[in-house]
Chains A and B, each alone.
Chain A
Amino acid sequence: QKEVEQNSGPLSVPEGAIASLNCTYSDRGSQSFFWYRQYSGKSPELIMFIYSNGDKEDGRFTAQLNKASQYVSLLIRDSQPSDSATYLCAVILNSGNTPLVFGKGTRLSVIA
């Protein structure tokens, strides 16, 4: 079983809609969760991190963590064409003292 899984997409949403990106992870004891945005040909850019169950909001972005169900999601409200990118979910596994484990990413396309 892969450690961090994401639907590769593409996920297409109309401009102004809510985009919902999901990620599941296999290690129940995982502690820290990150969302990175990566434009084509560019390096990953940190969007948000979340450590505790529940929601964390930052502007148009909301991260949601459910440790019991082992999933973390990213909601993008009022999606813009500039949000079109690949979104990488990354997790620090149970040991806590390890590098990030990345999912393969979900490609989001916001249609104007």
Chain B
Amino acid sequence: DAMVIQNPRYQVTQFGKPVTLSCSQTLNHNVMYWYQQKSSQAPKLLFHYYDKDFNNEADTPDNFQSRRPNTSFCFLDIRSPGLGDAAMYLCATSPTSGDTQYFGPGTRLTVL
């Protein structure tokens, strides 16, 4: 089945230790998104790629970076995680901008 896959599902890291979260998709969608979601809050868009065109939200901290080496894969790098970065990180895809988004299962990040 076509889908959005995120690995790992749970990630524990130490304060300040870099971490990379992975997303892959078999939907062949042009657009990939990264969201951060904290408890009882709406998903907060961090970045999105339209193909290789990178779009960074204005309020995304510099501590967060992203890479999309090809259509299928997208990575979220957190260079120096702080306690406030503990959250669920959601990857989503859509065929084009302004279209329905399909979410992966998420990665729950814990920062010790």
Contacts and interface: CB of A to CB of B under 8 A. Distances in A.
Interface of A: 8, 31-32, 34, 36, 41-46, 49, 88, 90, 92, 95-100, 102-105
Contact of B42 (A42, A99, A102): A102
B25 to A, nearest CB: 14
B105 interface: yes
Main secondary structure of the interface of B (DSSP, over half): loop
B100 A46 contact: yes
A45 B88 CA distance: 15
A6 to B, nearest CB: 9
B98 A98 contact: yes
Classify the secondary structure of A's interface with B. loop
Given A88-B42, A102-B43, A104-B42, A97 B97 contact: yes
A98 B108 CA distance: 26
B21 interface: no
Q: Interface range on chain B: under 10, 10 to 19, 20 to 34, or 35 or more?
A: 10 to 19
A46 B27 CA distance: 16
Given A34-B100, A41-B88, A104-B41, 4 more contacts: A41-B108, A49-B100, A95-B98, A100-B101
B102 interface: yes
B105 A99 contact: no
B45 interface: yes
Given A43-B105, A44-B90, A98 B43 contact: no
